Structure 1
Amino acid sequence: MENSGPFRVLVFSKTSAYRHDSIPAAIKAIEALATSMKLFVVDASEDAGNAMTPSSLAQYAVIVLLHCSGDFLDTAQVDALQQFVRSGGGVVAIHGAAAGLYDNQWYGALIGAHFDMHPDPEPGRVQVEQAEESMLNVASGRENWKDEWYNFRSHPRDNKNLKVLLRGDTTSYHGGKMGEDHPIAWYQEFDGGRSFYTALGHFDEAYADEWYMDQIKNGILWAAKRQPQISRPQPDTTDAAQRFY
């Protein structure tokens, strides 16, 4: 892919199980990124029959799997997604996408780990790993970030292909089952392409938050093999109640 001109991004948000209320807010936020940056253009779809075919996917550099859940693709559509990745395509998977296609081993490896359960949402602390080396270029964590703190069916550290970006500080919230080391965002070179996953993003408020959307932006750019724009936001110590309510 030439590193010039806008590239195309498919935001795909079909659900066959739990459906997140934040899907519309997320689509609007990613569309706003495209408008402001002028580096990519966005199509949004939930029509797997038309969108998840080899010919349709060939026009995109990145697919954003936005809260996709359950068996949201059939066998032929998974094959098309696999062909897209093996042809060098990028995937950005957000939050609920880890609860998709539980019986498909390839999809689980693409995401990095499958969702298991989460405790009740509450504010907690996000810690940064590989701050100077990661593709997100995030120099600071986040205090009082309210989200669903996902636990996974396998520990992300056991997947040696993953490069962990963010961890949840398990002393700052309840219900973590991953041990003291709780990865919540990572990226990888995978099967010819690239994938980035974040477990954050349950609530609408995330998609109006600069710290969070900067990660989505850089995830898209990295997955498309474009150089992410470095951003060094400062830690936010705003009380969660003031920020969200």
Structure 2
Amino acid sequence: MTLTALFNKSIIVSGISFLLYFSSFLSPGNATSNNARLTSKDRVTTASPAVLVFSKTNGYRHKSIEAGKAAFTKMAADKNFTVEFTEDSTQFNTENLKRFKAVVFLNTTGNVLGDQEQAAFEKFIQAGGGYVGIHSATDCEYNWEWYGKLAGAYFLNHPGPKNVLNGKFYVVDKDHPTTKGMPAEFERSDEFYSFKNINPDINVLIKIDEKSYAGGKNGDNHPMSWYHDYDGGRAFYTAMGHTDESFVEPLFLNHVYAGLQYAIGK
């Protein structure tokens, strides 16, 4: 065989080998594998939990709502979850609520949901949804008994005329994720709610020492944060969060994030 013939044969063999190698990437098996990788990536994106933050007010409006929204925006970016904000109560319908793992009531006040919207939210919780209440989330829906039990209590009063005071807090449950890293005792400034109609089934996380400030109405067992399973879902509430400063305070933000994780079911 001549040198030219050998050279041409070598080119043909190499070309066939290359085509066989390239076609292996187009085979059904590899196409499935590639699609599986894409699907897996899509699943990671889809799996990021979605949270609805609801801040409608029909009474006193806390200036700190805007600080709270900013805090949740940053938290979502840092912790890899999706957050949406609304004050539109019509968002509380069965189909829309299915998109979310938890709903945060951020300083809501007054009557904020209609009858059909209340029914949709009850269904959401009964299906395993989560609830997070911040500060004045207990100062709303006084005529909706189910909500009062979900939130864990209703607002009774706060000190006045000076409403933001310094007080001493005690961690009651040091083993719960929401209190991880907290000192056993600490002081902070906030508006300290007293409560009525406290649900006896709540699990208290943090309480306040009424001897450390004037105006408390709940005595030696004055809860400030708690959690409980309720009607098929999970609820976390903290009375902290009146001030703008709360929403840049690491202790408070870590507490809220862990409470959100509990509500989501993680």
TM-score tier (shorter): 0.7 to 0.9
Which residue in 1 is equivalent to 2:164?
Answer: 121
* Secondary structure, aligned partner of 1:161: coil
In the alignment, the residues of structure 2 paired with residue 168 and residue 130 of structure 1 have an alpha-carbon distance, to the nearest angstrom, of 13
More contact order relative to length (CA 8 Å, sep ≥ 6)? 1
Which residue in 2 is equivalent to 1:235?
Answer: none
Aligned residues: 219
Which residue in 2 is equivalent to 1:215?
Answer: 255
| TM-score, scaled relative to structure 2 | 0.79
Which residue in 2 is equivalent to 1:145?
Answer: 188
- Quote the offset at 1:144 in angstroms: 3.2
| TM-score, scaled relative to structure 1 | 0.86
* Secondary structure, aligned partner of 1:136: helix
In the alignment, the residues of structure 2 paired with residue 194 and residue 131 of structure 1 have an alpha-carbon distance, to the nearest angstrom, of 19
Residue correspondence of structure 1 range 126-205 to structure 2 within 5 A: 126-132=169-175, 134-138=176-180, 139-141=182-184, 143-154=186-197, 156=198, 159-205=199-245
Amino acid in structure 2 at the alignment position of 1:122: L
Runs of at least 4 residues off by over 6 Å: none
Unaligned 5+ runs, structure 1: 227-245
Match of 2:54 among 12, 18, 27: 12
1:128-178 alpha-carbon deviations (Å, 9 max, x no partner):
01102x241434255331111101123x3xx33110000011111110010
Q: Over aligned residues, Cα RMSD in angstroms? A: 1.6
In the alignment, the residues of structure 2 paired with residue 33 and residue 126 of structure 1 have an alpha-carbon distance, to the nearest angstrom, of 24
Which residue in 1 is equivalent to 2:67?
Answer: 25
In the alignment, the residues of structure 1 paired with residue 100 and residue 61 of structure 2 have an alpha-carbon distance, to the nearest angstrom, of 25
In the alignment, the residues of structure 1 paired with residue 186 and residue 127 of structure 2 have an alpha-carbon distance, to the nearest angstrom, of 39
> Is 1:225 the counterpart of 2:261 in the alignment?
no
* Secondary structure, aligned partner of 2:47: coil
Bigger radius of gyration: 2
Which residue in 2 is equivalent to 1:104?
Answer: 144
* Secondary structure, aligned partner of 1:205: helix
Report the identity percentage. Answer: 35
* Secondary structure, aligned partner of 2:188: strand
1:27-48 alpha-carbon deviations (Å, 9 max, x no partner):
110110110111x110001011
- Quote the offset at 1:98 in angstroms: 0.2
In the alignment, the residues of structure 1 paired with residue 239 and residue 53 of structure 2 have an alpha-carbon distance, to the nearest angstrom, of 17
In the alignment, the residues of structure 2 paired with residue 67 and residue 142 of structure 1 have an alpha-carbon distance, to the nearest angstrom, of 26
Match of 1:52 among 92, 103, 113: 92
- In terms of fraction of residues, the more helix-rich structure is 2
In the alignment, the residues of structure 1 paired with residue 192 and residue 123 of structure 2 have an alpha-carbon distance, to the nearest angstrom, of 32
Unaligned 5+ runs, structure 2: 1-42
Contact 1:125–1:141 (Cα < 8 Å) also in 2: no
* Secondary structure, aligned partner of 1:92: strand
Amino acid in structure 2 at the alignment position of 1:100: C
In the alignment, the residues of structure 2 paired with residue 173 and residue 85 of structure 1 have an alpha-carbon distance, to the nearest angstrom, of 36
Amino acid in structure 2 at the alignment position of 1:19: R
Contact 2:179–2:205 (Cα < 8 Å) also in 1: no
Amino acid in structure 2 at the alignment position of 1:225: G
1:38-82 alpha-carbon deviations (Å, 9 max, x no partner):
1x1100010112x11111101000100001110111111111110
1:105-150 alpha-carbon deviations (Å, 9 max, x no partner):
0010010000011002211111101102x24143425533111110
